[in-house]
Amino acid sequence: MAEVITMPRLSDTMTEGKVAKWHKKVGDKVKEGDILAEIETDKAVQDFESEIEGTLLYVGVEEGAAAAVDSVLAIIGNEGEDISGLTGGAAAPSAASEETKSEEQPKAETVETASAEVPAGVEVITMPRLSDTMTEGKVAKWHKNVGDTVKEGDLLAEIETDKAVQDFESEFNGVLLKQGVEEGGASPVDTVLAIIGPAGTDISSVGAPKSAAPASEKPAEQKAEAKTEEKAAPAANTSSSDRVAISPLAKKMAQDKGVDINSVQGSGENGRIVKKDIENYQPAAKSAASAPAASAAAQVAVNFVQGEDTETPNSQVRNIIAKRLSESKFSAPHYYLMVEINMDKAIEARKEINSIPDTKISFNDMIIKATAIALRKHPQVNSSWAGDKIIHRGNINVGVAVAIPDGLVVPVLKNTDQMSYTQISAAVKDMASRAKNKGLKANEMEGSTFSISNLGMFGIETFTSIINQPNSAILSVGAIIEKPIVKNGQIVVGNTMKLSLACDHRVVDGATGAQFLQTLRTYLENPLTLLL
Residues catalogued as catalytic: 505, 509
Of 284, 266, 288, the residue nearest 275 (C-alpha): 266
For residue 333, cis peptide bond before it (omega within 30 degrees of 0): no
Say how many C-beta atoms besides its own lie within 10 A of residue 337's C-beta.
Answer: 17
Rounded Cα distance between 211 and 184, Å, is 11
| C-alpha distances in Å from residue 287, one per residue of 183, 283, 434 | 42, 11, 21
Give the DSSP letter string of 54-108.
Answer: EEEEEESS-TT-EEETTSEEEEEESTT---HHHHTSPPPHHHHHHHHHHHHHHHH
Rounded Cα distance between 164 and 444, Å, is 10
- Rounded (10°) CA dihedral 303, 308, 309, 312: -30
First vs last C-alpha separation in the chain? 43
3 state SS for 286-309: CCHHHCCCCCCCCCCCCCCCCCCC
CA-only gyration radius of the chain, Å: 27
Rounded Cα distance between 447 and 445, Å, is 7
**Residues with Cβ < 8 Å from 217, sequence gap 6 or more?**
none
Rounded Cα distance between 167 and 351, Å, is 41
- Tell me the longest C-alpha to C-alpha distance in the chain: 88
- Rounded (10°) CA dihedral 345, 477, 438, 215: -170
| Residue 526 φ then ψ, to 5° | -135, 75
**Residues with Cβ < 8 Å from 337, sequence gap 6 or more?**
500, 501, 503, 510, 513, 514, 517
At 500 the three-state DSSP class reads: strand
Rounded Cα distance between 97 and 19, Å, is 13
Question: Please, what is the Cα angle at 501 between 497 and 503, to 5 degrees?
Answer: 180
Q: Are strands 398-400 and 412-413 parallel, antiparallel or unpaired?
A: antiparallel
Q: Which H/E stretch holds residue 165? A: strand 165-169
Of 57, 56, 46, the residue nearest 17 (C-alpha): 46
Rounded Cα distance between 203 and 150, Å, is 17
Which letter does DSSP use for residue 489 in this model? Answer: T
The answer to whether residues 308 and 414 touch, using CB atoms and an 8 Å cutoff, is no
